[in-house]
Structure 1
């Protein structure tokens, strides 16, 4: 696997949530770069429940706010481009509630969901058991390298 820090990350962070205790831009950058396997242009938007619910309804046809939504943007010429382009939308109040419910440090949960979203942007998925095992194993490995415990231990099913 390539060294993640050799890739360029152009990051924009948008804060549209009033929720307290959000990660800093530096933390977001660190976590995304750690999961990065090619250069990328990423926007991370932190939202509250109404926007999270609206986006989840519009794009996934699910009428509730979810923790993270991933929006990859296809390149005009994917064969010529090595840059990844996409948005990650995180619903701060949902993440805060999940962390509390799962007895996890809030910033560890943010790190996990940002890495999870970054892997989705790079083509990983969890639609079947094989893909889910591969993606979860990679997430656990990346988080362990950051001294963050396995997020799937004693954790309710995700999806």
Structure 2
């Protein structure tokens, strides 16, 4: 049975958790066409993201998303830690609503779980193109701008 859990552990930005779960389900079922998955999506504060980033990646400060892959054989299994505070900064810089930016991070995380990498410049460009394509497709199926506010 496929499962998605969405938890909001920060208090600054309003996350429409039920709606985010619906959008994630559409993306996994229709766009990625993943037959078996178990995914945890957690929204955290900038402070908590900085702690996770330091503990697991040895990087300083908050980042937009950290993906943990627990997948085995036939099941996509992972955890996405997403920071709405960082998403807000990028969203303001590029004039993108917070909900859409968070949907982008979700897609980015699932691409990582599917084996995409963004360390080399060419891989990063290819991943960004796929991210853009999938975000456009998701936005046609679900109002991603309404996934979060503030």
- TM-score band, normalised by the shorter chain? 0.7 to 0.9
Which secondary structure state, in structure 1, belongs to the residue aligned with residue 96 of structure 2?
coil
Contact 1:11 1:29 in 2 (8 A): no
Higher relative contact order (CA 8 A, sep 6+): 2
Contact 2:65 2:109 in 1 (8 A): yes
Matched, 1:17 2:44: no
Counterpart-to-counterpart distance in 2, 1:72 and 1:62: 19
Contact 2:53 2:61 in 1 (8 A): yes
Structure 2 CA distance for partners of 1:118 and 1:33, relative to 1, 3 Å: farther
* Count, aligned residues: 136
Correspondent of 1:139 among 131, 134, 140: 131
> Scaled by the length of structure 1, what TM-score is found?
0.76
Contact 1:84 1:121 in 2 (8 A): yes
Counterpart-to-counterpart distance in 1, 2:25 and 2:62: 22
Counterpart-to-counterpart distance in 2, 1:44 and 1:119: 14
- Counterpart in 1 of 2:95? 103
Contact 2:26 2:138 in 1 (8 A): no
Moved over 4 A (4+): none
Quote the offset at 1:105 in angstroms.
1.1
**Structure whose CA Rg is larger:** 1
Quote the offset at 1:90 in angstroms.
0.5
Contact 1:86 1:121 in 2 (8 A): yes
- Counterpart in 1 of 2:63? 66
5+ unaligned residues in a row in structure 1: which ranges?
1-7, 149-159
Q: Which has the higher helix share?
A: 2
5+ unaligned residues in a row in structure 2: which ranges?
141-150
Please give the root-mean-square deviation of Cα atoms over the aligned residues, in Å.
Answer: 1.9
